[in-house]
Amino acid sequence: MSAPRPAAEPRSAYPHFGRISTRWSDNDVYGHVNNVVYYSWFDTAVNRYLIESGALDIEQGAVIGLVVETQCHYFAPLAFPQDVDAGIRVAHRGRSSVRYEVGLFGVGQDRCAARGHFIHVYVDRATRRPVGELPPELRAALRSLERP
């Protein structure tokens, strides 16, 4: 019915990390970070990397990334106020799409508490049609995220 459950990976599976501070509102009524919040960290980790690499200009860029698929597997709870390290890598680059994979680690933990991916299709900001090829600054930024 479902695909086989993937394993919790170690930090060495990710070439780049960003630190994320948790928030009071991340915890739900059961006292742990709600499953939805993990996806906001996926977006945050990847877009922060792209912006800081000069590959994404939210306001002016001619190309924007639309999300067409997301997935997450959860292995262990996380909870405010602990900090979280988001490891990111690029698993696949197509003509106009990229599959980003993200692992979330409690600070000091070597096995991820959750892992998932999202697929961006890059489109022209005005027409919202997929680009013919990824912009060169994006391709350059992605190179450092390819699996070690």
Choose between 31 and 132: whose C-beta lies nearer to a copy of itself: 31
- Both tokens of 142, joined, read 């992605």
1 touching a copy of itself, by CB under 8 A: yes
Residue 101 C-alpha from the chain's centroid: 6
Q: Is beta strand 114-124 parallel, antiparallel or unpaired with respect to 97-106? A: antiparallel
In the list 11, 16, 73, 111, the residue contacting a copy of itself (rule: CB under 8 A) is 73
Is-cis flag, bond preceding 81, omega within 30?
yes
20 touching a copy of itself, by CB under 8 A: yes
Choose between 31 and 148: whose C-beta lies nearer to a copy of itself: 31
Query: From residue 113 to residue 142, what is the string marking binding to a copy of itself with x (rule CB under 8 A)?
Result: -----xx-----------------------
Residue 95 C-alpha from the chain's centroid: 19
